[in-house]
Structure formats: C-alpha cells, structure tokens
Amino acid sequence: MNGAQTIVSFLQKKGVNPAFGYPGGPILVLYDAIYQADFPHVLTRHEQGAVHAAEGFAKVTGKPGVVIATSGPGATNLVTGIADAFLDSVPLLAITGAVARNCTGKDAFQEADITGITQPITKYNYLVMDPADLQSTLEEAWNLTTEGRPGPVLVNVPKDILAMEIPEKASAGAGIMRHRPPRKKVETQVLSVFEALKKSKRPLLLAGGGVIISDGASQLMQRFVEETGIPVATSMMAKGVIDSHHPQYLGMVGMHGTPQANSCIGNCDLLLVVGCRISDRIIGDPAKYNTNKDRVVIHVDIDPAEIGKNIRPTIEIEDDAANFFSHVLRHMPDYNFKTAWAEWISSLQIKADRFHKITDELVCLNDKLLPEAVVHEVSQAYKGMNPILVTDVGQHQMFAAQYFEIESPRSFLTSGGLGTMGFGLPAAIGAAIAAPDRPVILFVGDGGIQMTIQEFGPLKNLGLNVKVIIMDNQQLGMVRQWQELFFGKRYSQSILDNNPNFIQIADAYGLQGGRATNAQEFRDNLAKMLASKEPYVLHVMLDVQELVYPMIPPGKNPDEIIMPGM
C-alpha cells in the first residue's frame, strides 16, 4: 500500500462516512486512492466550505469530522474553520497534502508551512517526514481529536510519502510514556460542593458547551437540577441541554442573554459552572466580576486550563460534565434546598415574567417582519420534529439563539467562539449529511450567505433537507447595531443595499425558493418549506431597524443589561 491508500484504509477502518474536501496538486495521489476505493467524499466548492461542513457533521454526531485539502492555498483556506473548531471544541481531523520532501523549505509551487500556521489553533499538528510514522501518526491524531476536550488536529503529508510504498513494519509512535499531572479525586470534592450549596442563598448553575459535548451529561444535569431545585442558565453553546420551558431554566446568559439569567449570574452568591470557559461575551470584565470575594465559584471542566483562566474559582474540579453530575447525584444529601432558595427563585421568576411579557409581543408576526417573530414562527412550525438549527453569525444568530426552541443536545450549531461569518451554509450541509432524517434549518444573514454562497452547489447535488432562511436587512446588522449604539450612527461599510437577487441565485443552482416581504408571503413560503423534503431557500425581507436586545454593553457587568421596556 502507498501512503494515500494507507490513509484511505485508515479512514475506512474508523468508519469515516463521508470525508469533506477539495482536490489539488500534492493531494491528487490521495484523491486517486479515494476514487479507486470508492471512498465516500463530499466535494464542496471551496475548502472553507469543506472544513465547516466537517464541523457541522462533527457537532451533530460527536465523531471527528474529516476534511481533506491540498497544500498551499488549499490548506490555508482551512485555517478559519480550524480556528473555529479550536474555539468551539469540535473534533476535527484535517489531512493536507504537502510538497514533496525534497522541496520542503524551498518555497516550491503551492508550498505553505501549514503546520507552522496552524500550530496555535490546533490541539496538535504533524508534518509526516518518515513514511514509517504515517500509520501511528494518523492513529494518534484521530485519538487526540476526541480525547479530553475535543478539538482540531492536522496531519500534513508530503506528496512523495503519499505516493511511496509504506513499510509494513511501521514505527510504534512515541515510545515514551506521556505523563499528565494526576487528577484530584472528584469524590472527595463532591462533599465540598454540597457544603457550599447548603451555605448558599442565591445559587446558579451555569451550563456551557461542555455539557452538550459530554455524552449523557444533559440528562444527568436535568436530574440534578430537579432534585436540588437550583436555577439554571446556559451559555449559547449549551442551548438544547435543558428543555427551554423547564420552570428552573432562566435562559441564555451573556451579551444578548435574558435579563433574569444575567441578573442571576451578576447577583448569585454561588456559581456552579460546568463545561464553560466564561468568556468575555458572558462576563464583560472578569476583573470586575472577581472583585466579589464572597461569591463561591465552583468550576468544573475537563480542561483544567479553563479553570482559573477567566474567573477565579473557589473549588476546582477537573472532570467531564457527565462524570461530575453522576458523582453528585450519587452523593445527594438529605437536605431541602428548595425551601432554602425559595425567595431567590421567586425573585428570578418575577424578572422572567416581566421579560416574557415583552417578548410575547415581539414574536407576533405582522407585516413589519420582525426577526424575533420570523424565528418564532419557524420554531413553532417545526416544533416536535427535533430540528437541527444552524446559524451564521450576527444579529440573526442572536435572534435564533433567543427565540428558537432547541429540543435536544447537539441540535444548535453555531460559530460561538470565533464568530465566523460564512459558517452557516456549509455547516448545515454537514449536519444534514449527519442526520438525514431530521429537518435542518439554517438562519443566515444577507452578509454571511455571500461569504459561502457557492455551497449551494453541493446542497443541490446532494438534495439535502436543508431550509435556508436568508434574514435580509440589507446590512451587516450586528456591525450596524454597534455603529448605531457606540459609533455615533456612522455606518461605515455596513450597508448592503445592493444585494443580489438571492432567489435568482438559488434558481441558477436549481434550488427551490421564494421571497417574503409581508406576513402572508412569509406564511405561504413557510408552508411550502414544511411540505418539502428538498432544499428550500426562503428570502425574508426583514424590518431593517430592529436591534438585538437584551444587550449588555461591552465591558459592563451582567446585571447592567439593557432591555427596552424593562
């Protein structure tokens, strides 16, 4: 077997179905092996599309997404997606072709040091220089993508290694026992968690994306929440971890989270954080948040480096979410937390009721086509079907996060950490391939769709059940929002009033679609969309003035949130 066949056979053994990618120079040998083995592969129309599709696939399945690209520009086109996967802890294996070893470092045609370039945005990466290392490197890279905290790993293979016979007797890989500092026993720490909970009058459980990633953690968390009565909030990455109508669920925290969740994180005397790094989008200014020395912070994370990075913990627990919750459930004390926290919970309830009174009005669909109402209508239409919701980045992303009801974990796909415009369409393609029986809804802005619109190609070819809803306000909405609020309404380079006719573009790709400029047209389109198992492009002309609220102004504390009407 040559190097390319070794890779294909490795991917087959791991059950990869499909890989996403784009051929070119040095990777041609691998594409020849893919052809000969009839290995499942999805051709996107740009490498960025391939890497986001692989991310979408991985986010839905929890298995590593595999992306293949050639050297130089092929590899550098992956960079945005790799960085995206790194910040959102997505297991991703990127395989790139490199120039032949005798050309390495000579600035050969299509040579770029992709191993150097991706070093800070991968868990680890490899340049295979010895054919005997190929097999063991692939194995190690594969394991690394999902081991501990998931993330991207890149393997860069020179063209001559792809083409040459790989020795039967492969090297065993790293011969040295890799040492890690031993973890503290969680059992002993669980007692101190309950001690702290008993002392607390105003606790909050904050669940992050780690609870989604950790298999079975959401059910265990729900049991813990019900048995203790603790109020719970989620980061945007944890949407779907708990039923959105659960009486103890306060909603999303952060810059565009709910007033009740943000007030709670600002005023709690105990914060139990599980699988969340508490980024600057949750706590505007960690230094300010840390000044409250009375607050007990219990931080649980599979990655110990996240503990103490942004906010100062009182109790540090290095564990994954499912393990943690099963430990605490096994040691539940005989204690009535609910009575102790009754006052706190009713005060949060009052805030929540006031907020819902306002949002109930916002979600009423009328001819203005407010984004809140559009998202709500789609959510109601797909209720009970366990849809996968995919977003791009910007205002529509926040409206989707706020108003779409997610029914299960791994069903809300968004570029949370990196905020990558152009993520949505390819990620939706990956999601639809991963879950062919579920509806996939994509909300994408008029800006974001134009960043990866070429992926209408594979969407049509594969006939995937993806509903593309273009939320068109003829502007880069979130940029404009910041300019309106913080830059004296100077709308620098954020107005897109010369957008193309998206429906004609969809039509050119052979995709069904329709435009909605009023409530009736919207409902007609929605009905058509629901009836179809094919891709559908719905172009919604939104109210252009609407801003995303609630909003915590940058650098402010969570309880300084602004919500018009509250």
Partner 1 sequence: MRQNLSILVENQSGVLARVANLFARRGFNIESLAVGTTHNPEISRITVSITADEEQTAQIVKQLHKLPVVLKVKRLEKDAHFSRELVFIKVTCDSVTRTSVLQIVDIFRGHIIDVSPSTATIEISGSSDKIQALTELLVPYGILEMVRTGLIAIERGERVLSLDS
Among 168, 169, 179, 330, interactor with partner 1 by CB under 8 A: 179
Residue 147 or 543 with smaller CB distance to partner 1: 147
Sign of CA dihedral 310, 312, 318, 324: negative
- Considering the candidates 36, 109, 361, 385, report the single residue annotated as catalytic: 109
Residue 318 or 455 with smaller CB distance to partner 1: 318
Give the binding-site size for partner 1 (rule: CB under 8 A): 24
Q: Which runs of consecutive H residues, i.e. helices, occur in 309-455?
A: 321-330, 337-340, 342-362, 371-381, 395-403, 424-434
Distances in Å between the Cα of 11 and the Cα atoms of 44, 159, 433, 476 are: 19, 18, 17, 40
Query: Using CA atoms, how far apart are residues 482 and 227, in angstroms rounded to an integer?
Result: 42
Contact letters for partner 1, residues 141-160 (x by CB under 8 A):
---x----------------
Question: To the nearest whole angstrom, how small is the minimum distance from the Cβ of residue 139 to partner 1?
Answer: 13
Residue 290 or 326 with smaller CB distance to partner 1: 290
Residue partners of 280: CB distance under 8 A and separation at least 6? 286, 310
Quick one: which segment of 21-29, 71-79, 308-316, 396-404 binds partner 1 (CB under 8 A)?
A: 308-316
Query: Using CA atoms, how far apart are residues 50 and 427, in angstroms rounded to an integer?
Result: 9
Q: Give the DSSP letter string of 288-306.
A: HHHT-TT-EEEEEESSGGG
- DSSP letter at 2? B
Contact letters for partner 1, residues 258-297 (x by CB under 8 A):
----------------------------------------
- Indicate whether 67 belongs to the interface with partner 1 (CB under 8 A): no
47 assigned to active site: yes
44: phi then psi, degrees, rounded to nearest 5: -90, -175
Quick one: which segment of 100-108, 120-128, 254-262, 354-362 binds partner 1 (CB under 8 A)?
A: 120-128
- Rounded to 10 deg, the angle between the 424-434 and 47-61 helix axes is 50
User: If we measure between CA atoms, which residue out of 148, 149, 88 comes closest to residue 413?
Assistant: 88
- Indicate whether 317 belongs to the interface with partner 1 (CB under 8 A): no
Question: To the nearest whole angstrom, how small is the minimum distance from the Cβ of residue 227 to partner 1?
Answer: 32
User: If we measure between CA atoms, which residue out of 562, 488, 551, 566 comes closest to residue 281?
Assistant: 551
110 assigned to active site: yes
175: phi then psi, degrees, rounded to nearest 5: -80, -15
CB-based contact 320:214 (threshold 8 Å): yes
CB-based contact 437:385 (threshold 8 Å): no
Question: To the nearest whole angstrom, how small is the minimum distance from the Cβ of residue 144 to partner 1?
Answer: 7
129 assigned to active site: no
541: phi then psi, degrees, rounded to nearest 5: -85, 105
Question: To the nearest whole angstrom, how small is the minimum distance from the Cβ of residue 2 to partner 1?
Answer: 25
- Indicate whether 305 belongs to the interface with partner 1 (CB under 8 A): yes
Quick one: which segment of 8-16, 32-40, 82-90, 175-183 binds partner 1 (CB under 8 A)?
A: 175-183
Quick one: the chain helix, strand, coil %, rounded to 5?
45, 15, 40
**Exposed / middle / buried, residue 120 (Cβ in 10 Å: 0-12, 13-18, 19+):** exposed
Question: To the nearest whole angstrom, how small is the minimum distance from the Cβ of residue 80 to partner 1?
Answer: 18
CB-based contact 7:33 (threshold 8 Å): yes
Segment 184-213, which members bind partner 1 (CB under 8 A)?
none
Quick one: which segment of 97-105, 118-126, 154-162, 233-241 binds partner 1 (CB under 8 A)?
A: 118-126
* Spatial strand order in the sheet of 440-445: 412-413, 388-391, 440-445, 466-472, 536-541, 512-516
Among 139, 243, 280, 303, interactor with partner 1 by CB under 8 A: 303
- Considering the candidates 59, 159, 239, 467, report the single residue annotated as catalytic: 159
Residue 169 or 179 with smaller CB distance to partner 1: 179
Among 107, 169, 178, 334, interactor with partner 1 by CB under 8 A: 178
- Indicate whether 177 belongs to the interface with partner 1 (CB under 8 A): yes
Residue 301 or 405 with smaller CB distance to partner 1: 301
Distances in Å between the Cα of 318 and the Cα atoms of 152, 187, 327 are: 21, 11, 13
Among 1, 13, 40, 174, interactor with partner 1 by CB under 8 A: 174
- Considering the candidates 221, 255, 471, 478, report the single residue annotated as catalytic: 478
- Indicate whether 304 belongs to the interface with partner 1 (CB under 8 A): yes
Site of interaction with partner 1 (CB under 8 A): 115-116, 119-120, 123-124, 127, 140, 144, 174-181, 303-305, 307-309, 312
Active site residues: 47, 109-110, 159, 478
